[in-house]
Protein backbone atom coordinates (compact mmCIF):
# COMPACT_ATOMS: atom_id res chain seq x y z
CA UNK A 1 0.00 0.00 0.00
CA UNK A 2 2.73 2.49 0.94
CA UNK A 3 4.22 2.23 -2.56
CA UNK A 4 0.92 3.26 -3.98
CA UNK A 5 0.26 6.07 -1.56
CA UNK A 6 3.70 7.69 -1.72
CA UNK A 7 4.33 9.51 -4.92
CA UNK A 8 7.63 9.02 -6.65
CA UNK A 9 9.31 12.41 -7.02
CA UNK A 10 12.65 10.93 -7.98
CA UNK A 11 11.73 11.30 -11.63
CA UNK A 12 10.63 14.56 -13.19
CA UNK A 13 7.04 13.34 -13.30
CA UNK A 14 5.40 12.69 -9.94
CA UNK A 15 3.64 9.35 -10.14
CA UNK A 16 2.41 6.32 -8.30
CA UNK A 17 2.77 3.99 -11.28
CA UNK A 18 6.42 3.18 -10.69
CA UNK A 19 7.72 5.05 -13.70
CA UNK A 20 11.30 4.65 -12.50
CA UNK A 21 11.13 0.98 -13.46
CA UNK A 22 9.09 1.58 -16.58
CA UNK A 23 11.86 3.21 -18.59
CA UNK A 24 10.12 3.05 -21.93
CA UNK A 25 7.01 4.90 -20.79
CA UNK A 26 9.08 7.31 -18.72
CA UNK A 27 11.16 8.18 -21.77
CA UNK A 28 8.03 8.62 -23.91
CA UNK A 29 6.57 10.96 -21.30
CA UNK A 30 9.81 12.88 -20.92
CA UNK A 31 9.91 13.34 -24.67
CA UNK A 32 6.34 14.60 -24.62
CA UNK A 33 6.99 16.97 -21.67
CA UNK A 34 8.72 19.86 -23.56
CA UNK A 35 5.87 19.99 -26.09
CA UNK A 36 3.41 20.11 -23.22
CA UNK A 37 5.26 22.97 -21.53
CA UNK A 38 5.42 24.76 -24.83
CA UNK A 39 1.66 24.32 -25.21
CA UNK A 40 1.11 25.53 -21.62
CA UNK A 41 3.25 28.64 -22.18
CA UNK A 42 1.47 29.58 -25.41
CA UNK A 43 -2.07 28.40 -24.67
CA UNK A 44 -2.24 28.44 -20.84
CA UNK A 45 -3.27 31.45 -18.68
CA UNK A 46 -2.19 34.53 -20.62
CA UNK A 47 0.01 36.96 -18.67
CA UNK A 48 0.24 35.04 -15.40
CA UNK A 49 3.00 32.50 -15.90
CA UNK A 50 5.29 34.41 -13.52
CA UNK A 51 2.68 34.96 -10.80
CA UNK A 52 2.89 33.01 -7.55
CA UNK A 53 -0.41 31.20 -7.15
CA UNK A 54 -1.66 29.47 -4.00
CA UNK A 55 -2.39 26.08 -5.56
CA UNK A 56 -3.11 22.60 -4.41
CA UNK A 57 -1.00 19.88 -5.96
CA UNK A 58 -2.00 16.24 -5.94
CA UNK A 59 0.87 14.55 -4.16
CA UNK A 60 -0.69 11.28 -3.09
CA UNK A 61 -3.85 9.29 -3.40
CA UNK A 62 -4.37 8.98 0.32
CA UNK A 63 -7.98 10.15 0.78
CA UNK A 64 -7.02 11.93 4.00
CA UNK A 65 -4.23 14.04 2.55
CA UNK A 66 -3.93 13.75 -1.18
CA UNK A 67 -3.11 17.38 -1.86
CA UNK A 68 -0.77 20.03 -0.52
CA UNK A 69 -1.22 23.80 -0.84
CA UNK A 70 1.59 26.21 -1.58
CA UNK A 71 2.59 29.21 -3.67
CA UNK A 72 3.86 28.10 -7.02
CA UNK A 73 4.48 29.51 -10.48
CA UNK A 74 2.14 27.62 -12.79
CA UNK A 75 4.74 26.41 -15.30
CA UNK A 76 6.47 24.75 -12.34
CA UNK A 77 3.35 22.88 -11.23
CA UNK A 78 4.14 19.18 -10.69
CA UNK A 79 1.80 17.58 -13.20
CA UNK A 80 1.77 13.98 -12.10
CA UNK A 81 0.30 10.61 -12.93
CA UNK A 82 -1.82 9.30 -10.14
CA UNK A 83 -4.14 6.32 -10.30
CA UNK A 84 -6.56 5.27 -7.58
CA UNK A 85 -5.31 2.12 -5.80
CA UNK A 86 -5.83 -1.15 -7.58
CA UNK A 87 -8.79 -2.99 -6.12
CA UNK A 88 -7.76 -6.55 -5.49
CA UNK A 89 -9.52 -9.05 -7.74
CA UNK A 90 -11.79 -6.39 -9.24
CA UNK A 91 -14.42 -7.88 -11.52
CA UNK A 92 -15.83 -6.23 -14.65
CA UNK A 93 -19.15 -4.76 -13.48
CA UNK A 94 -21.18 -4.70 -16.75
CA UNK A 95 -21.44 -5.68 -20.39
CA UNK A 96 -20.63 -8.86 -22.23
CA UNK A 97 -17.67 -9.53 -19.93
CA UNK A 98 -19.62 -8.99 -16.73
CA UNK A 99 -18.06 -10.89 -13.83
CA UNK A 100 -14.72 -11.58 -15.56
CA UNK A 101 -11.52 -10.28 -13.92
CA UNK A 102 -10.82 -6.63 -14.88
CA UNK A 103 -8.25 -6.28 -17.69
CA UNK A 104 -4.80 -5.00 -16.91
CA UNK A 105 -3.92 -4.83 -20.61
CA UNK A 106 -5.94 -3.55 -23.57
CA UNK A 107 -8.05 -6.35 -25.05
CA UNK A 108 -6.99 -6.52 -28.72
CA UNK A 109 -10.51 -6.70 -30.12
CA UNK A 110 -11.49 -3.40 -28.42
CA UNK A 111 -8.29 -1.49 -28.98
CA UNK A 112 -9.67 1.03 -31.47
CA UNK A 113 -12.84 1.70 -29.51
CA UNK A 114 -10.94 2.19 -26.28
CA UNK A 115 -8.39 4.47 -27.88
CA UNK A 116 -11.17 6.65 -29.27
CA UNK A 117 -12.76 7.04 -25.84
CA UNK A 118 -9.42 7.94 -24.25
CA UNK A 119 -8.56 10.41 -27.01
CA UNK A 120 -11.95 12.17 -26.79
CA UNK A 121 -11.65 12.41 -23.02
CA UNK A 122 -8.07 13.67 -23.33
CA UNK A 123 -8.97 16.25 -25.96
CA UNK A 124 -11.43 18.08 -23.71
CA UNK A 125 -8.85 18.75 -21.01
CA UNK A 126 -6.43 21.07 -22.85
CA UNK A 127 -9.40 22.52 -24.76
CA UNK A 128 -10.87 23.96 -21.57
CA UNK A 129 -7.53 25.54 -20.63
CA UNK A 130 -7.40 27.18 -24.05
CA UNK A 131 -10.96 28.45 -23.68
CA UNK A 132 -10.18 30.03 -20.32
CA UNK A 133 -6.79 31.53 -21.03
CA UNK A 134 -7.81 35.20 -20.94
CA UNK A 135 -9.92 35.12 -17.78
CA UNK A 136 -7.14 36.11 -15.37
CA UNK A 137 -7.18 39.62 -16.80
CA UNK A 138 -10.77 40.20 -15.70
CA UNK A 139 -10.83 38.17 -12.48
CA UNK A 140 -13.31 39.65 -9.99
CA UNK A 141 -10.93 38.91 -7.08
CA UNK A 142 -7.67 37.16 -6.25
CA UNK A 143 -9.74 34.32 -4.81
CA UNK A 144 -11.50 33.78 -8.14
CA UNK A 145 -8.29 34.23 -10.09
CA UNK A 146 -6.69 31.49 -8.05
CA UNK A 147 -9.66 29.24 -8.68
CA UNK A 148 -9.49 29.49 -12.45
CA UNK A 149 -5.77 28.76 -12.34
CA UNK A 150 -6.38 25.77 -10.07
CA UNK A 151 -8.92 24.41 -12.50
CA UNK A 152 -6.49 25.00 -15.38
CA UNK A 153 -3.50 23.21 -13.86
CA UNK A 154 -5.70 20.27 -12.94
CA UNK A 155 -7.17 20.03 -16.44
CA UNK A 156 -3.54 19.97 -17.53
CA UNK A 157 -2.97 17.06 -15.17
CA UNK A 158 -6.00 15.28 -16.59
CA UNK A 159 -4.43 15.56 -20.01
CA UNK A 160 -1.32 13.91 -18.54
CA UNK A 161 -3.52 11.17 -17.13
CA UNK A 162 -4.91 10.31 -20.58
CA UNK A 163 -1.53 10.68 -22.26
CA UNK A 164 -0.07 8.18 -19.80
CA UNK A 165 -2.76 5.67 -20.81
CA UNK A 166 -2.08 6.30 -24.49
CA UNK A 167 1.68 5.99 -24.16
CA UNK A 168 1.72 3.02 -21.86
CA UNK A 169 -0.95 0.91 -23.49
CA UNK A 170 -1.23 2.00 -27.14
CA UNK A 171 2.37 1.99 -28.32
CA UNK A 172 3.16 3.97 -31.41
CA UNK A 173 -0.33 5.12 -32.31
CA UNK A 174 -0.81 6.13 -28.67
CA UNK A 175 2.28 8.35 -28.97
CA UNK A 176 0.92 9.86 -32.16
CA UNK A 177 -2.43 10.59 -30.51
CA UNK A 178 -0.60 12.17 -27.56
CA UNK A 179 1.16 14.47 -30.01
CA UNK A 180 -2.12 15.37 -31.72
CA UNK A 181 -3.63 16.32 -28.37
CA UNK A 182 -1.07 19.14 -28.25
CA UNK A 183 -1.76 20.21 -31.85
CA UNK A 184 -5.54 20.74 -31.92
CA UNK A 185 -6.81 24.11 -30.70
CA UNK A 186 -10.15 25.17 -29.27
CA UNK A 187 -12.14 27.13 -31.87
CA UNK A 188 -9.53 26.71 -34.62
CA UNK A 189 -11.14 26.41 -38.06
CA UNK A 190 -8.53 23.95 -39.37
CA UNK A 191 -7.74 21.83 -36.33
CA UNK A 192 -10.55 22.27 -33.82
CA UNK A 193 -11.03 20.30 -30.61
CA UNK A 194 -13.20 17.22 -31.05
CA UNK A 195 -16.44 18.07 -29.24
CA UNK A 196 -18.70 21.05 -29.89
CA UNK A 197 -18.79 22.77 -26.49
CA UNK A 198 -15.00 22.80 -26.37
CA UNK A 199 -14.80 25.04 -29.41
CA UNK A 200 -17.04 27.73 -27.93
CA UNK A 201 -15.56 30.89 -26.43
CA UNK A 202 -15.50 31.49 -22.67
CA UNK A 203 -15.60 35.28 -22.95
CA UNK A 204 -16.47 36.26 -19.38
CA UNK A 205 -16.67 34.98 -15.82
CA UNK A 206 -20.35 34.19 -15.94
CA UNK A 207 -19.58 31.88 -18.87
CA UNK A 208 -16.68 30.37 -16.93
CA UNK A 209 -18.84 29.61 -13.91
CA UNK A 210 -21.61 28.20 -16.14
CA UNK A 211 -19.00 26.09 -17.91
CA UNK A 212 -17.62 24.69 -14.67
CA UNK A 213 -21.14 24.00 -13.44
CA UNK A 214 -22.57 22.43 -16.60
CA UNK A 215 -19.67 21.21 -18.70
CA UNK A 216 -17.45 19.99 -15.89
CA UNK A 217 -20.52 18.15 -14.68
CA UNK A 218 -20.68 16.37 -18.02
CA UNK A 219 -17.02 15.60 -17.32
CA UNK A 220 -18.02 14.10 -14.01
CA UNK A 221 -20.69 11.90 -15.61
CA UNK A 222 -18.37 10.72 -18.39
CA UNK A 223 -15.54 10.04 -15.94
CA UNK A 224 -17.94 8.15 -13.67
CA UNK A 225 -18.89 5.95 -16.64
CA UNK A 226 -15.28 5.39 -17.62
CA UNK A 227 -14.41 4.71 -13.97
CA UNK A 228 -16.58 1.58 -14.34
CA UNK A 229 -14.48 0.38 -17.26
CA UNK A 230 -13.36 -3.22 -17.50
CA UNK A 231 -9.98 -1.80 -18.53
CA UNK A 232 -8.61 -1.32 -15.04
CA UNK A 233 -5.95 1.38 -15.65
CA UNK A 234 -8.61 3.64 -17.18
CA UNK A 235 -10.97 2.97 -14.30
CA UNK A 236 -8.28 3.82 -11.74
CA UNK A 237 -7.20 6.97 -13.58
CA UNK A 238 -10.76 8.27 -13.81
CA UNK A 239 -11.48 7.51 -10.18
CA UNK A 240 -8.62 9.74 -9.10
CA UNK A 241 -9.55 12.49 -11.58
CA UNK A 242 -12.99 12.65 -10.00
CA UNK A 243 -11.38 13.69 -6.71
CA UNK A 244 -10.12 16.88 -8.37
CA UNK A 245 -13.23 17.38 -10.50
CA UNK A 246 -15.39 18.01 -7.42
CA UNK A 247 -13.62 21.33 -6.80
CA UNK A 248 -14.22 22.44 -10.38
CA UNK A 249 -17.95 22.01 -9.99
CA UNK A 250 -17.76 23.75 -6.62
CA UNK A 251 -16.17 26.73 -8.38
CA UNK A 252 -19.06 26.81 -10.88
CA UNK A 253 -21.89 26.29 -8.46
CA UNK A 254 -20.64 28.78 -5.87
CA UNK A 255 -19.57 31.24 -8.57
CA UNK A 256 -23.12 31.39 -9.96
CA UNK A 257 -24.57 31.28 -6.43
CA UNK A 258 -22.47 34.29 -5.39
CA UNK A 259 -23.49 36.16 -8.55
CA UNK A 260 -27.19 35.50 -7.85
CA UNK A 261 -26.79 36.48 -4.23
CA UNK A 262 -25.16 39.80 -5.10
CA UNK A 263 -27.87 40.61 -7.68
CA UNK A 264 -30.71 39.81 -5.28
CA UNK A 265 -29.14 41.79 -2.46
CA UNK A 266 -28.55 44.80 -4.69
CA UNK A 267 -32.16 44.63 -5.93
CA UNK A 268 -33.45 44.48 -2.38
CA UNK A 269 -31.30 47.38 -1.24
CA UNK A 270 -32.52 49.50 -4.18
CA UNK A 271 -36.17 48.50 -3.64
CA UNK A 272 -36.51 46.80 -7.05
CA UNK A 273 -39.17 44.10 -6.78
CA UNK A 274 -39.51 43.08 -10.42
CA UNK A 275 -36.57 41.03 -11.79
CA UNK A 276 -37.59 41.90 -15.35
CA UNK A 277 -36.65 45.56 -14.84
CA UNK A 278 -33.40 44.72 -16.48
CA UNK A 279 -31.99 48.19 -17.04
CA UNK A 280 -32.65 49.29 -13.47
CA UNK A 281 -30.96 46.17 -12.17
CA UNK A 282 -28.02 46.57 -14.53
CA UNK A 283 -27.55 50.15 -13.36
CA UNK A 284 -26.67 48.71 -9.97
CA UNK A 285 -23.56 47.07 -11.45
CA UNK A 286 -24.93 43.54 -11.11
CA UNK A 287 -26.14 40.94 -13.62
CA UNK A 288 -29.94 40.74 -13.90
CA UNK A 289 -31.49 37.34 -13.26
CA UNK A 290 -33.09 36.95 -16.74
CA UNK A 291 -29.65 37.30 -18.34
CA UNK A 292 -28.24 34.66 -15.98
CA UNK A 293 -31.15 32.43 -17.07
CA UNK A 294 -30.20 32.97 -20.72
CA UNK A 295 -26.61 31.97 -20.04
CA UNK A 296 -27.95 28.90 -18.25
CA UNK A 297 -30.02 28.01 -21.32
CA UNK A 298 -26.94 28.27 -23.50
CA UNK A 299 -24.54 26.26 -21.37
CA UNK A 300 -27.00 23.54 -20.47
CA UNK A 301 -27.94 22.95 -24.11
CA UNK A 302 -24.29 22.94 -25.22
CA UNK A 303 -23.48 20.45 -22.49
CA UNK A 304 -26.39 18.15 -23.42
CA UNK A 305 -24.79 17.83 -26.84
CA UNK A 306 -21.72 16.32 -25.16
CA UNK A 307 -23.67 13.17 -24.37
CA UNK A 308 -23.91 12.25 -28.07
CA UNK A 309 -27.09 10.97 -29.72
CA UNK A 310 -29.90 9.69 -27.53
CA UNK A 311 -29.91 6.47 -29.49
CA UNK A 312 -26.36 5.43 -30.26
CA UNK A 313 -24.77 2.23 -31.46
CA UNK A 314 -21.38 3.60 -30.44
CA UNK A 315 -22.60 3.80 -26.87
CA UNK A 316 -24.19 0.34 -27.07
CA UNK A 317 -20.96 -1.13 -28.40
CA UNK A 318 -18.86 0.52 -25.68
CA UNK A 319 -21.20 -0.82 -23.00
CA UNK A 320 -21.40 -4.26 -24.53
CA UNK A 321 -17.62 -4.39 -24.78
CA UNK A 322 -17.43 -3.58 -21.04
CA UNK A 323 -15.47 -0.40 -21.77
CA UNK A 324 -17.86 2.35 -20.65
CA UNK A 325 -20.59 1.73 -18.09
CA UNK A 326 -23.42 3.68 -16.55
CA UNK A 327 -23.38 6.22 -13.74
CA UNK A 328 -22.95 4.28 -10.47
CA UNK A 329 -23.14 1.00 -12.37
CA UNK A 330 -22.35 -1.13 -9.33
CA UNK A 331 -25.26 0.35 -7.39
CA UNK A 332 -27.83 -0.39 -10.11
CA UNK A 333 -29.90 -3.52 -9.52
CA UNK A 334 -30.29 -5.28 -12.86
CA UNK A 335 -28.42 -7.82 -14.97
CA UNK A 336 -25.77 -5.24 -16.04
CA UNK A 337 -25.97 -6.63 -19.56
CA UNK A 338 -29.14 -4.94 -20.76
CA UNK A 339 -29.83 -7.57 -23.39
CA UNK A 340 -33.59 -7.41 -23.09
CA UNK A 341 -34.55 -4.27 -21.14
CA UNK A 342 -35.77 -0.97 -22.51
CA UNK A 343 -35.31 2.67 -21.55
CA UNK A 344 -37.64 5.60 -22.36
CA UNK A 345 -36.20 8.12 -24.82
CA UNK A 346 -37.64 11.44 -25.97
CA UNK A 347 -37.77 11.37 -29.75
CA UNK A 348 -39.21 13.32 -32.61
CA UNK A 349 -42.05 11.24 -34.07
CA UNK A 350 -44.10 12.70 -36.95
CA UNK A 351 -43.15 16.21 -35.92
CA UNK A 352 -44.00 15.71 -32.26
CA UNK A 353 -41.87 15.06 -29.21
CA UNK A 354 -42.81 11.63 -27.85
CA UNK A 355 -41.48 9.26 -25.23
CA UNK A 356 -40.50 5.99 -26.90
CA UNK A 357 -39.17 2.83 -25.31
CA UNK A 358 -35.85 1.95 -26.90
CA UNK A 359 -33.55 -1.02 -26.23
CA UNK A 360 -31.68 0.01 -23.07
CA UNK A 361 -28.37 -0.80 -24.71
CA UNK A 362 -28.70 1.78 -27.45
CA UNK A 363 -30.17 4.30 -24.98
CA UNK A 364 -27.05 4.40 -22.78
CA UNK A 365 -26.25 8.04 -23.66
CA UNK A 366 -29.81 9.04 -22.85
CA UNK A 367 -29.69 7.38 -19.48
CA UNK A 368 -26.44 9.09 -18.54
CA UNK A 369 -27.88 12.38 -19.72
CA UNK A 370 -30.97 11.89 -17.56
CA UNK A 371 -28.75 11.29 -14.53
CA UNK A 372 -26.89 14.46 -15.49
CA UNK A 373 -30.09 16.48 -15.75
CA UNK A 374 -31.15 15.35 -12.28
CA UNK A 375 -27.76 16.39 -10.92
CA UNK A 376 -28.02 19.81 -12.62
CA UNK A 377 -31.53 20.29 -11.23
CA UNK A 378 -30.24 19.81 -7.69
CA UNK A 379 -27.80 22.67 -8.28
CA UNK A 380 -30.59 24.90 -9.62
CA UNK A 381 -32.67 24.11 -6.55
CA UNK A 382 -29.83 25.40 -4.39
CA UNK A 383 -29.61 28.61 -6.46
CA UNK A 384 -33.36 29.08 -6.18
CA UNK A 385 -33.05 28.81 -2.40
CA UNK A 386 -30.61 31.73 -2.44
CA UNK A 387 -33.21 33.81 -4.32
CA UNK A 388 -35.92 32.75 -1.86
CA UNK A 389 -33.79 33.63 1.14
CA UNK A 390 -33.25 37.18 -0.07
CA UNK A 391 -36.93 37.35 -1.02
CA UNK A 392 -36.98 38.00 -4.78
CA UNK A 393 -39.69 36.48 -7.00
CA UNK A 394 -37.76 34.49 -9.62
CA UNK A 395 -36.93 30.86 -10.34
CA UNK A 396 -34.22 29.37 -12.51
CA UNK A 397 -35.36 26.56 -14.79
CA UNK A 398 -33.62 24.07 -17.02
CA UNK A 399 -34.88 24.33 -20.59
CA UNK A 400 -36.46 21.36 -22.36
CA UNK A 401 -33.93 18.94 -23.86
CA UNK A 402 -35.15 19.82 -27.37
CA UNK A 403 -34.10 23.45 -26.91
CA UNK A 404 -31.10 24.69 -28.96
CA UNK A 405 -29.56 21.34 -29.85
CA UNK A 406 -26.87 20.52 -32.37
CA UNK A 407 -26.53 16.79 -31.75
CA UNK A 408 -29.11 14.03 -31.63
CA UNK A 409 -32.88 13.75 -32.08
CA UNK A 410 -33.64 17.45 -31.98
CA UNK A 411 -30.83 18.92 -34.01
CA UNK A 412 -33.06 19.60 -37.02
CA UNK A 413 -35.85 21.38 -35.15
CA UNK A 414 -36.26 24.61 -33.23
CA UNK A 415 -37.91 24.47 -29.85
CA UNK A 416 -38.70 26.99 -27.12
CA UNK A 417 -37.32 26.38 -23.59
CA UNK A 418 -40.78 24.99 -22.80
CA UNK A 419 -40.33 22.30 -25.48
CA UNK A 420 -42.85 23.83 -27.86
CA UNK A 421 -41.73 23.24 -31.45
CA UNK A 422 -41.42 26.41 -33.51
CA UNK A 423 -41.13 27.29 -37.17
CA UNK A 424 -38.05 29.16 -38.27
CA UNK A 425 -39.66 32.58 -38.19
CA UNK A 426 -40.98 32.09 -34.65
CA UNK A 427 -37.57 30.87 -33.51
CA UNK A 428 -35.71 33.75 -35.13
CA UNK A 429 -38.02 36.37 -33.69
CA UNK A 430 -37.73 35.01 -30.16
CA UNK A 431 -34.32 33.47 -29.77
CA UNK A 432 -32.84 36.59 -28.19
CA UNK A 433 -35.39 36.22 -25.41
CA UNK A 434 -33.85 32.85 -24.58
CA UNK A 435 -30.19 33.02 -25.52
CA UNK A 436 -27.67 35.76 -24.69
CA UNK A 437 -27.71 38.53 -27.31
CA UNK A 438 -24.76 40.65 -28.33
CA UNK A 439 -26.10 43.39 -26.04
CA UNK A 440 -26.22 41.00 -23.11
CA UNK A 441 -22.64 39.96 -23.86
CA UNK A 442 -21.51 43.59 -24.08
CA UNK A 443 -23.18 44.41 -20.79
CA UNK A 444 -21.55 41.45 -19.01
CA UNK A 445 -18.22 42.42 -20.57
CA UNK A 446 -18.61 45.96 -19.23
CA UNK A 447 -18.64 44.56 -15.68
CA UNK A 448 -15.56 42.41 -16.17
CA UNK A 449 -12.88 44.46 -14.43
CA UNK A 450 -9.92 42.92 -12.71
CA UNK A 451 -9.89 43.35 -8.92
CA UNK A 452 -6.57 42.46 -7.29
CA UNK A 453 -6.72 44.02 -3.85
CA UNK A 454 -6.78 41.11 -1.37
CA UNK A 455 -10.24 40.61 0.13
CA UNK A 456 -11.99 42.87 -2.43
CA UNK A 457 -14.54 41.72 -5.04
CA UNK A 458 -16.01 43.15 -8.23
CA UNK A 459 -19.46 44.76 -7.98
CA UNK A 460 -21.33 41.82 -9.50
CA UNK A 461 -20.26 38.95 -7.24
CA UNK A 462 -20.51 38.32 -3.49
CA UNK A 463 -17.48 37.10 -1.51
CA UNK A 464 -17.32 33.37 -0.77
CA UNK A 465 -18.45 32.13 2.61
CA UNK A 466 -15.12 30.47 3.37
CA UNK A 467 -11.68 30.76 1.88
CA UNK A 468 -9.69 28.10 0.07
CA UNK A 469 -7.74 25.93 2.53
CA UNK A 470 -9.53 27.88 5.29
CA UNK A 471 -7.59 31.03 4.55
CA UNK A 472 -8.94 34.35 5.85
CA UNK A 473 -10.98 36.72 3.64
CA UNK A 474 -8.07 39.03 2.79
CA UNK A 475 -5.62 36.25 1.93
CA UNK A 476 -3.39 37.03 -1.06
CA UNK A 477 -4.23 34.00 -3.23
CA UNK A 478 -2.17 35.26 -6.15
CA UNK A 479 1.03 37.28 -5.85
CA UNK A 480 1.19 39.03 -9.18
CA UNK A 481 4.59 39.40 -10.80
CA UNK A 482 5.97 42.92 -10.42
N1 LIG B 1 -19.52 17.16 -30.78
O2 LIG B 1 -23.18 7.79 -31.44
P3 LIG B 1 -22.93 9.23 -31.24
C4 LIG B 1 -14.76 16.71 -19.62
C5 LIG B 1 -19.87 12.47 -32.87
S6 LIG B 1 -16.16 16.51 -20.59
C7 LIG B 1 -18.94 16.67 -31.88
O8 LIG B 1 -24.05 10.15 -31.28
P9 LIG B 1 -21.39 8.52 -28.99
C10 LIG B 1 -14.35 18.09 -19.27
C11 LIG B 1 -19.24 11.19 -32.36
O12 LIG B 1 -17.86 11.38 -31.99
C13 LIG B 1 -16.28 14.77 -20.90
N14 LIG B 1 -19.13 15.40 -32.33
O15 LIG B 1 -22.18 9.52 -29.90
C16 LIG B 1 -15.27 19.05 -18.93
C17 LIG B 1 -19.44 10.26 -33.52
O18 LIG B 1 -18.45 10.54 -34.50
P19 LIG B 1 -17.73 9.36 -35.27
C20 LIG B 1 -15.46 14.26 -22.08
C21 LIG B 1 -19.92 14.60 -31.60
O22 LIG B 1 -20.14 8.10 -29.65
C23 LIG B 1 -14.84 20.33 -18.64
C24 LIG B 1 -20.78 10.71 -34.08
O25 LIG B 1 -20.96 12.06 -33.61
N26 LIG B 1 -15.44 12.84 -22.15
O27 LIG B 1 -14.17 15.76 -19.27
O28 LIG B 1 -22.29 7.50 -28.44
C29 LIG B 1 -13.49 20.64 -18.65
C30 LIG B 1 -21.93 9.85 -33.61
O31 LIG B 1 -21.80 9.71 -32.23
C32 LIG B 1 -20.54 15.02 -30.42
C33 LIG B 1 -16.23 12.09 -22.93
O34 LIG B 1 -17.02 12.60 -23.68
C35 LIG B 1 -20.32 16.38 -30.02
N36 LIG B 1 -20.89 16.89 -28.91
O37 LIG B 1 -21.09 9.53 -27.78
C38 LIG B 1 -12.57 19.67 -18.99
C39 LIG B 1 -16.10 10.59 -22.82
N40 LIG B 1 -21.28 14.00 -29.94
O41 LIG B 1 -16.93 8.60 -34.26
C42 LIG B 1 -12.98 18.37 -19.27
C43 LIG B 1 -15.62 9.90 -24.02
C44 LIG B 1 -21.12 12.97 -30.77
O45 LIG B 1 -18.84 8.57 -35.89
N46 LIG B 1 -16.50 10.04 -25.16
N47 LIG B 1 -20.28 13.32 -31.76
O48 LIG B 1 -16.85 10.09 -36.27
C49 LIG B 1 -17.67 9.35 -25.35
O50 LIG B 1 -18.07 8.61 -24.50
C51 LIG B 1 -18.47 9.52 -26.60
O52 LIG B 1 -17.59 9.62 -27.65
C53 LIG B 1 -19.42 10.73 -26.62
C54 LIG B 1 -20.27 10.62 -27.90
C55 LIG B 1 -20.27 10.73 -25.37
C56 LIG B 1 -18.66 12.04 -26.72
482 in Cβ contact with 52 (< 8 Å):
no
Q: Which residues contact 324 (CB under 8 A, 6 or more apart)?
A: 117, 225, 226, 228, 229, 315, 318, 364
CA dihedral 257, 260, 264, 270 (to 10 degrees): 130
Residue 379 has pLDDT above 80, yes or no: yes
Answer whether 128 contacts ligand 1 (Cβ < 6 A).
Answer: yes
Higher pLDDT, 332 or 66: 332
> Using one digit for the tens of pLDDT, what is the confidence trace for 44-71?
999 999 999 999 998 777 777 788 899 9
Report the C-alpha gap between 97 and 133 in whole angstroms.
42
Mean pLDDT value of segment 265-287: 98
Phi first, then psi: what are they for 60, rounded to 5°? -165, 170
Higher pLDDT, 62 or 145: 145
Closest to 145 in 3D by CA, of 481, 482, 412, 478: 478
Residue 451 has pLDDT above 60, yes or no: yes
Closest protein CA for atom 45 of ligand 1 = 314
Helices of type H across 186-273 = 205-210, 216-226, 232-270
CB 450: neighbour CB atoms within 10 A? 15
- What is the whole-number distance in angstroms between the Cα of residue 163 and the centre of ligand 1? 18
What is the pTM for the complete model shown?
0.96
Closest to 195 in 3D by CA, of 308, 359, 78: 308
Residue 10 has pLDDT above 70, yes or no: no
Closest protein CA for atom 49 of ligand 1 = 117
Answer whether 140 contacts ligand 1 (Cβ < 6 A).
Answer: no
Answer whether 314 contacts ligand 1 (Cβ < 6 A).
Answer: yes
Nearest ligand 1 atom, CA 121: 26
Q: Which residues contact 95 (CB under 8 A, 6 or more apart)?
A: 230, 319, 320, 321, 322, 323, 325, 336, 337
Amino acid sequence: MSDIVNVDYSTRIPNNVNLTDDRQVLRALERWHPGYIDWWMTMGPDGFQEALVYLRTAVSIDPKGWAKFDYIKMPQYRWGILLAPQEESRKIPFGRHYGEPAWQEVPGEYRAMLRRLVVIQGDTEPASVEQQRHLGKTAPSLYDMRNVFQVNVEEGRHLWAMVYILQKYFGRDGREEAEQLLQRRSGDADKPRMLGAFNEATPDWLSFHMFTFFTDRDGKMQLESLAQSGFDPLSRTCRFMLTEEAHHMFVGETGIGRTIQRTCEAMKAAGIEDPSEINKVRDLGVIDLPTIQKKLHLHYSLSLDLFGSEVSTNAANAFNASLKGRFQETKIEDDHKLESSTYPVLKLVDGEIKRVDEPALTAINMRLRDDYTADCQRGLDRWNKIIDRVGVAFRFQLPHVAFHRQIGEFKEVDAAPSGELLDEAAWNSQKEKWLPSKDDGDFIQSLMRQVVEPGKFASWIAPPRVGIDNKPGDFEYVKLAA
